[in-house]
Each structure stands twice: as structure tokens, then as C-alpha cells.
């Protein structure tokens, strides 16, 4: 059975959630799980919970724990990445420094200044992993769960690594839409494609019925008027459950995505909080934000409030009570490749003739067939032109960030943030440069070194 390396296994809850998914599939229970993190204490917390889970069910799974990345990767068939370089200390800078300049990011891990700098911090680690994989496990599949998904996967593909990036936004949003319509989820059929956190539901059907006309009516009636969010469930950042019900995160506040559907014709795959960061329309000032998103959801605050030990103990207790898979695709991809059982998943992959009106070589999110032949992305064809155009506004940022790393060109960092739709709508070029300068100085300990010096321009 395969060796599965989890790089960043000391993360809160999520690595253990993935381990539970793997163990829920009988054919994978003889695997070796090699857990690696630079923080030995946190890594051992996850390893101890995994060993307890294995012992509880008397499985033959072997659990290894190491701080040596090469040891974890040596001979691996699958490499799962779940890390955040710099942790909460760096994440705080990603959101607090841009906020000083008027860029308020409720998440800040996908696009904009927060997404670009999270990518820059991650790039040296991905580059080192890629080099080790080429030597120690050249045929392994790297399954990336870390944001910014598109930038990370784009870089890995350019480094020659067989990569798929996984998210739960397609699964979560499809469940939410079925719930909004009162349609049993198992009766829904859909097609989604685009880029991570901005993939479009191109089809949403129940048998022969096109559900889109009703979806547009229901969502506009329910979400375009300002909605009282009192009584909505809180959200603590764990989005792996099959259907969580309406909350302040998803389903309860959907004015942004509903406005985007009304304007561009299609619903897309990330929460209204997160979606508002990728476009220039909804975060002009505090009054505009409050108009479109009544109750704030702040992912940095969610992460800061995590009780790491308590969260791990709670999840372990639930997994010991009932070992059921989550909506995450990682374990099922491994299972399909190992057993040959065919499945369709949504993955973030290299755009090679899959969506022709998005740039060739960028990272796209499309349905993929998985079986004993591996992961096979499907050709979707062109997106509706307006949807592709909005995607391209985000891809511009991703491309310049990736080129900054590959070309070691520091000016492309500035270019990436200058092209961010929200940042460009709020700040002058000189203010963007000042913000990027401050982020570079504050996060210097985690950032890659660049050969090209920064060009100082006069303030205006």
C-alpha cells in the first residue's frame, strides 16, 4: 500500500480531518502516513491523535512523525500539502498592513496583497519540496490544499511537479444552492469551471429541469434586499462537513454572489465575504461593505481564536464515534488511483486546452476523472465571455506573482498588487508601492530573496 506524506501536518484540525478521510476507506488502511511539520510539538499532537484513532479501530496503518521533509518524501506515492508559512504572525501582517491603506480583506489568502504575500512566503518551501520530489519520489502526485491555491499550483506546475489543488468551495456551494432551492442534493447535477474561488456553475439541473431560472428568482428575493442576520449560525472555519446549513459565512449572507450572478449570469463558488475581495464593486468604504455584507466574518480572527488542543480532541472524539468521510477529495483521489474505482472530482490543474478563453498554462478549476490511470482533467471548452473576463482580471495578479518568483524580479511583486482589482479601485500607484514596501519590510524573514532591486519612485 502507498506511502502518503502530509507536509504541514501540525495544522489545526485539517490534517487530522484528512487522516480520518483516508482511514474511512478500507482499501487505504494499510498505508503508511508520514506526518511532517517544522514544529515538532504541533506535528506530534496530530500524530498522537492519528495513532489513537488507528488503535481505536485496530487498523494496520503505520503513522510516522518527523521534522525532516526529505524523510517524509522519500518513496512517497502521494504528497499532501497543508502548510501556511509564517503562521498567524505572518497572516496578521497580511491583513493589518493593507487595512491601514484602506484595503479591508476579510480573508486575504487568495488574491490581493494578502494572497500575493502568502504566496511569496510559500514559494521557497514549494521550490524545495519540488526539488526533493524530483529526487526522492519523482512519480508522486502532489495534492495541494494550501492557499493561494491558483498561485501555488501554477508555480508547482512550472517546476515540473504532477499537481492537483483541492478546495471544498464547489462542494460547499452546490450543497448551499440545493438547500436554498429545497432540492435534495443527491438529485442535483451541475457543471462548474473557472478558477479557484471563482469557478462558475455553468449548469445546475435536477433531471431534465434547468434549475437556474428558479435559482435566480429565489436568490434575488432572498438575498438582494438587506437581510437581518440575527439568529444565523456562527462559523468557525471548518468547511469540510457535507452540509453545514445557513450561517454568517455561507447561505445566510449571499448578496454579493447574487449581485454577481445578476450581472454576469452565473453563480460562483466562493462565499460572499471572500468573493467581495476579488472584484472592485463591494468594498469601497465601510458603508458599502455594510450594505452588501451585514455581519462581518473575519478569517484571521477565526484562526486566532482556535483552541488547537481542544479542536483536535473534539475532532478525534467525533472520528472515534463514527468514521465518516468529509467532502474533501484528497482521500478519494488516492483511493481511485489505488483501486481503479472511477470518480469525478473538481481539481485545480494546469490549463492545457481545457478552457481556451483563459490563458494557456494558468491554473483552472475543472471536473477531473480519477481512476487507475491517474487524474485526468476534462476539457470544458470556453466559458461565457463575461465570466472568462472576470477570471482573467484575477489571473493577471496570479501570473505576475508567479513570474516574480520564477524570474526573481521584485518589480513583479508590485505589478501583481497593482493589478489586483480591489486594490486598484482603492489606491493610487504610489500608495500601492508604499503598502508593498511596508509588507516586504515586515515579512522579510519569510520572503524569498530577489536578485533585482526595488525601484523607488517619488510619491505623488
CA angle, residues 86, 92, 95, in degrees to nearest 5: 120
How many CB atoms are closer than 10 A to CB 41?
Answer: 8
Among 56, 168, 197, 415, the one annotated catalytic: 168
Q: How far apart are CA 127 and CA 117, in angstroms?
A: 16
Backbone Cα Rg of the chain:
21
Could you confirm whether 56 is annotated as catalytic? no
Q: How far apart are CA 460 and CA 308, in angstroms?
A: 46
Residue with cell 486575504: 108
Residue 255 backbone phi and psi in degrees, to 5: -65, -40
C-alpha grid cell for residue 271? Answer: 462565499
Q: How far apart are CA 46 and CA 313, in angstroms?
A: 10
C-alpha grid cell for residue 223? Answer: 438575498
Q: Where are the beta strands (DSSP E) in 237-380?
A: 343-350, 363-371, 374-377
H helices, E strands: number in the chain: 18, 12
CB 22 within 8 A of CB 31: yes
Q: How far apart are CA 165 and CA 305, in angstroms?
A: 27
Q: How far apart are CA 319 and CA 54, in angstroms?
A: 10
Q: How far apart are CA 196 and CA 41, in angstroms?
A: 32
- DSSP SS3 for 36: strand
CB 262 within 8 A of CB 220: yes
Q: How far apart are CA 70 and CA 68, in angstroms?
A: 6
Q: How far apart are CA 22 and CA 168, in angstroms?
A: 17
Nearest partner of 198 among 413, 414, 447, 386, judged by Cα = 386
C-alpha grid cell for residue 404? Answer: 516574480
Would you name the residues annotated as active-site residues? 168
Amino acid at each position: 500500500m502507498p506511502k502518503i506524506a502530509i507536509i504541514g501536518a501540525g495544522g489545526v484540525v485539517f490534517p487530522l480531518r484528512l487522516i480520518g478521510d483516508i482511514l474511512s476507506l478500507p482499501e487505504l488502511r494499510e498505508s503508511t502516513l508520514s506526518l511532517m511539520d517544522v514544529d515538532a510539538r504541533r506535528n506530534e499532537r496530530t500524530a498522537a491523535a492519528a495513532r489513537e484513532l488507528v488503535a481505536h479501530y485496530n487498523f494496520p496503518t503505520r503513522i510516522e512523525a518527523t521534522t525532516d521533509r526529505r524523510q517524509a518524501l522519500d518513496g512517497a506515492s502521494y504528497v499532501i500539502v497543508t502548510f501556511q508559512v509564517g503562521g498567524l504572525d505572518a497572516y496578521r501582517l497580511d491583513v493589518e498592513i493593507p487595512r491601514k491603506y484602506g484595503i479591508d480583506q476579510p480573508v486575504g489568502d487568495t488574491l490581493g496583497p494578502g494572497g500575493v504575500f502568502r504566496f511569496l512566503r510559500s514559494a521557497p518551501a514549494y521550490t524545495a519540496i519540488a526539488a526533493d520530489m524530483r529526487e526522492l519520489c519523482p512519480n508522486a502526485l502532489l495534492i495541494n490544499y494550501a492557499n493561494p491555491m491558483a498561485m501555488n499550483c501554477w508555480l508547482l506546475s512550472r517546476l515540473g511537479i504532477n499537481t492537483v489543488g483541492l478546495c471544498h468551495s464547489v462542494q460547499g456551494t452546490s450543497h448551499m444552492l440545493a438547500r436554498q432551492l429545497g432540492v435534495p442534493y443527491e438529485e442535483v447535477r451541475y457543471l462548474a469551471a473557472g478558477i479557484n474561488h471563482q469557478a462558475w456553475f455553468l449548469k445546475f439541473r435536477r433531471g431534465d429541469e434547468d434549475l437556474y431560472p428558479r435559482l435566480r428568482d429565489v436568490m434575488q428575493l432572498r438575498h438582494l434586499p438587506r437581510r437581518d442576520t440575527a439568529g444565523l449560525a456562527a462559523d468557525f472555519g471548518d468547511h469540510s462537513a457535507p452540509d453545514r446549513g445557513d450561517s454568517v459565512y455561507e447561505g445566510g449572507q449571499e448578496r454579493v454572489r447574487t449581485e454577481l450572478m445578476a450581472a454576469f449570469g452565473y453563480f460562483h463558488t466562493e462565499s460572499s465575504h471572500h468573493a467581495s475581495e476579488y472584484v472592485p464593486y463591494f468594498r469601497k468604504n465601510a458603508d458599502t461593505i455594510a450594505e452588501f455584507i451585514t455581519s462581518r466574518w473575519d478569517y484571521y480572527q477565526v484562526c486566532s481564536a482556535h483552541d488547537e488542543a481542544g479542536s483536535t480532541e473534539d475532532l478525534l472524539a467525533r472520528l472515534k464515534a463514527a468514521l465518516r468521510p468529509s467532502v474533501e477529495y484528497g482521500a478519494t483521489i488516492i483511493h481511485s488511483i489505488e483501486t481503479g474505482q472511477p470518480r469525478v472530482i473538481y481539481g485545480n490543474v494546469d490549463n492545457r486546452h481545457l478552457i481556451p478563453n483563459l490563458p494557456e498554462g494558468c491554473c483552472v478549476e475543472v471536473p477531473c476523472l480519477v481512476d487507475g490511470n491517474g487524474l485526468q482533467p476534462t476539457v470544458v471548452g470556453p466559458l461565457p465571455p463575461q465570466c472568462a473576463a472576470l477570471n482573467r482580471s484575477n489571473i493577471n495578479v496570479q501570473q505576475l506573482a508567479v513570474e516574480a518568483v520564477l524570474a526573481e524580479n521584485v518589480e513583479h511583486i508590485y505589478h501583481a498588487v497593482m493589478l489586483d482589482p480591489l486594490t486598484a479601485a482603492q489606491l493610487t500607484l504610489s500608495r500601492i508601492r508604499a503598502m508593498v514596501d511596508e509588507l516586504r519590510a515586515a515579512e522579510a524573514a519569510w520572503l524569498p530573496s530577489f536578485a533585482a532591486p526595488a525601484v523607488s519612485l517619488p510619491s505623488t
